[in-house]
Chain A
Amino acid sequence: MLEVSHLNFAFGKQGLLSDLSFTLAAGSITGLVAPNGTGKTTLLRCLCGLLPSGPGVLHLNGIDLYRKRTAYLAQLFFLENSTQLYADLTVADHLKYVRKMWHSSVSIQDTVGELEVAGYYRKRIRDLSLGMKQHALLAMYLVADPQLLLIDEPLNGLDPTSIQQFERIFTQLKAAGKTLLVSSHQMDSVGRVSDDVFFLKDQHILAEPNTGQDMMAEYSRIFLGQEAAHG
């Protein structure tokens, strides 16, 4: 379980996150939704310690990021996007590396089979399409086998078949007791897989349980409605 208490973050004088407090339970999927440039990725970076948050703010299964950084990081995986993969290395190199570094026992072969990446398993990242890279990146999440998966816009560049495949895997991970925080602009997908949705607006989180409501309508109400009022 991830517990966030009074998280603040600003780039210089420009505040992005203000006094955020929330909890992500084990065995849950939380959607993170906001227009571009409003702090989704910043929040994910804070949660994994890439950006400073201060002591006592982040606890993952009771472990404070600032007190036991290594033990905290061992329970999560986050790689912002597939452009951060190593272009000169193969998918195989990445998966073997992640498996060792996260001391995981997940079978690479099984993951490769499940995600259908066998065809380009031995290809270098630079030779892959965006969709292939997204598959390789998700394979890294699976092979690392962390408790908390922070995933930033995983559906970019995917065809409908792959989107369904990714959603199925997210659901399987949830069933296995994992905690997923998934940022996305695909509101229909958010509606299909999320238990709760965090709408990040004006540096604060508006948390809504997913009761089957039309997420695009919610998005429009929360974000576009405000823009209309301003207009």
Chain B
Amino acid sequence: MVSQFGLDFKRLARTSTTVVIYLAFGLLLLTSFFMKIHDDNYGPGLQLGHYTATMGSLDKAIDRLEKVKPKTKQVKAELKSKTTQKTLIDEINLADTQLVASPVLSAQDPDPVNRLLLKLARFQVKETAAGRGAWLELYRVEGEPTDSSLLGRKKAVLLYQTLLKRHRSQLFFNAARLPAASYLTAQLRSGQTTLLLLAVVVLLVAESFTLDQRKHTTALQQTLPHEPFGVLVARVGATFVLAVLVLAAALATVFVIVGLHDGWGNWAYPLIYSPNGRTAAVLTLGRFAAGWGGLIVLAVLLLTALGALVSLYTAKMGLHLASGVAVILLAVPVVLTAAVVRPVVRFLPSAYLQPAPMLLHEASWPQLPLGGGLAVLLGWTVGLLGLGWLRLKWHPRGQNQ
């Protein structure tokens, strides 16, 4: 079957669709880059604005509390908390103003700001753990959701501890000018981008499994002296490998384009997540990218197996696209969190088509642990291929019989 794989791969790779797929992957991943290519790097500037805004809020709160007469024990405690926060934010604001004014200095020595941010984060953990979280004025972090829980505060502590340890400036993942490693990570973290990439994969799969019918070249495949399932598996393999290679080539191209323009970045930059809902952990950009790659490969395999099964019933491009897109639409959060699918959602492959929520434990829908998710994706893939085997057992010539 190696020969069949080689032939299918070569045929598919030489179609113009493959080039279109490569360009589509690239454009999807570069849209954000091109849209902001003339913008300044406003991420740190916006973040400084958030510190300033928080200081303003604290000033108002402190003024309000100072006017309260008589001051109860609770008012005094709150006033003390707000004053401490203001002092800490004041120091951060001052240090950060210098860094924003001098990006070169920021790159050389981000430790002073990180140290102050860590000090504030630790204070916030202590206050939240003591049940005084409501008194905290939490500043927004560009590109990240605000999490006022104790876990959210613990994550902040771990982030600044790690940044301090590695002497790195904080990155803001919605900044206009991100270095390549961070830019790619920001793109891969986006569920929307991931699902659109998979939709493009569906196009490649549909092309592969309708190619013979459209070019009137089905005959040779149907008179091969080999088990039809083996021939089908070879086609699945060729489609899968090509899809993965084209996606990898597009990712590499995007990395180079962004890297040449905005620098390469560092794959050791930490992403903070919670593996168990109680403690915080570090996942580097490099490990995130590797995990994303592994999971997306399984998602591509699943979509290819689906295309193979559909090809045994129809060679219509429209039906191939519809079946693949249906699986992807089921992976949209609003569908996955719907009450009607909630009881079974963790056993659906669509629940695991977005690697980022799985890797960072941020899914808003029920999921099995990582190993379980992999088992679901592989199980469905094997199941789809098994149905294909059964179909070919009774109809050796597929949809033409």
Contact = CB atoms under 8 A, between A and B. Distances in A.
Interface in A72-111: 73-80, 83-89, 93, 96-97, 100-103
B227 interface: yes
Contact of B3 (A71, A84, A96): A96
A101 B10 CA distance: 16
Contact of A88 (B11, B223, B227): B11
A83 B216 contact: yes
A84 B219 contact: yes
B225 A74 contact: yes
Contacts of A36: none
B7 A93 contact: yes
Interface residues of B, number: 23
A71 B396 CA distance: 14
Given A83-B216, A84-B220, A70 B10 contact: no
A103 B1 CA distance: 11
B224 interface: yes
Interface string B1-40: 0111011001100110000000000000000000000000
Contacts of A80: 219
B226 interface: yes
A40 to B, nearest CB: 15
A97 B7 contact: yes
A50 B10 contact: no
B222 interface: yes
B217 interface: yes
Given A84-B217, A84-B219, A73 B224 contact: yes
B215 A87 contact: yes
Nearest to A140: B220
Interface in A39-86: 48-50, 52, 69-71, 73-80, 83-86
Q: Which of B2, B219, B227 has the most CB of A within 10 A?
A: B219
Interface string B183-224: 000000000000000000000000000000001110110111
**Chain A contact surface mostly:** loop
Q: Which of A87, A89, A97 has the most CB of B within 10 A?
A: A97
B276 interface: no
Nearest to B6: A97
B214 to A, nearest CB: 12
A50 B4 contact: no
A102 B4 CA distance: 11
Contact of A73 (B2, B219, B223): B223
Contact of A49 (B7, B10, B14, B223): B223
A203 to B, nearest CB: 23
Interface residues of A, number: 29
Nearest to B13: A88
B401 interface: yes
A79 B14 CA distance: 22
A88 B15 contact: yes
Given A86-B217, A87-B215, A52 B401 contact: yes
Contacts of A88: 10-11, 14-15
A50 B223 contact: yes
Given A83-B216, A89-B10, A97 B3 contact: yes
Contacts of A70: 225-227
A76 B220 CA distance: 12
Contacts of B7: 86, 89, 93, 97
B122 interface: no
A96 B6 CA distance: 11
Contacts of B11: 86, 88-89
B397 interface: yes
B222 A50 contact: yes
Interface string B245-257: 0000000000000
A100 B6 CA distance: 11
A81 to B, nearest CB: 9
Contacts of B225: 70-71, 73-75, 101-103
Interface string B235-264: 000000000000000000000000000000
B87 to A, nearest CB: 71
A56 to B, nearest CB: 17
Contacts of A50: 219, 222-223, 397
B401 A93 contact: no
Nearest to A99: B3
Nearest to B400: A50
A69 B228 CA distance: 10
Contacts of B10: 88-89, 93
Contacts of A85: 217
B400 to A, nearest CB: 8
A79 B396 contact: no
A78 B223 contact: yes
A70 B224 CA distance: 8
Q: Which 5 A-B pairs have the closest CB atoms?
A: A74-B225, A100-B3, A88-B14, A73-B225, A97-B7
Interface of A: 48-50, 52, 69-71, 73-80, 83-89, 93, 96-97, 100-103
14 contacts: A48-B223, A50-B219, A73-B224, A79-B220, A84-B220, A86-B7, A86-B215, A88-B11, A88-B15, A89-B11, A93-B10, A101-B3, A101-B4, A101-B224
Interface of B: 2-4, 6-7, 10-11, 14-15, 215-217, 219-220, 222-227, 396-397, 401
Given A71-B225, A86-B11, 12 more contacts: A48-B223, A49-B222, A49-B223, A50-B219, A50-B223, A73-B223, A80-B219, A84-B216, A86-B215, A89-B7, A93-B7, A101-B226
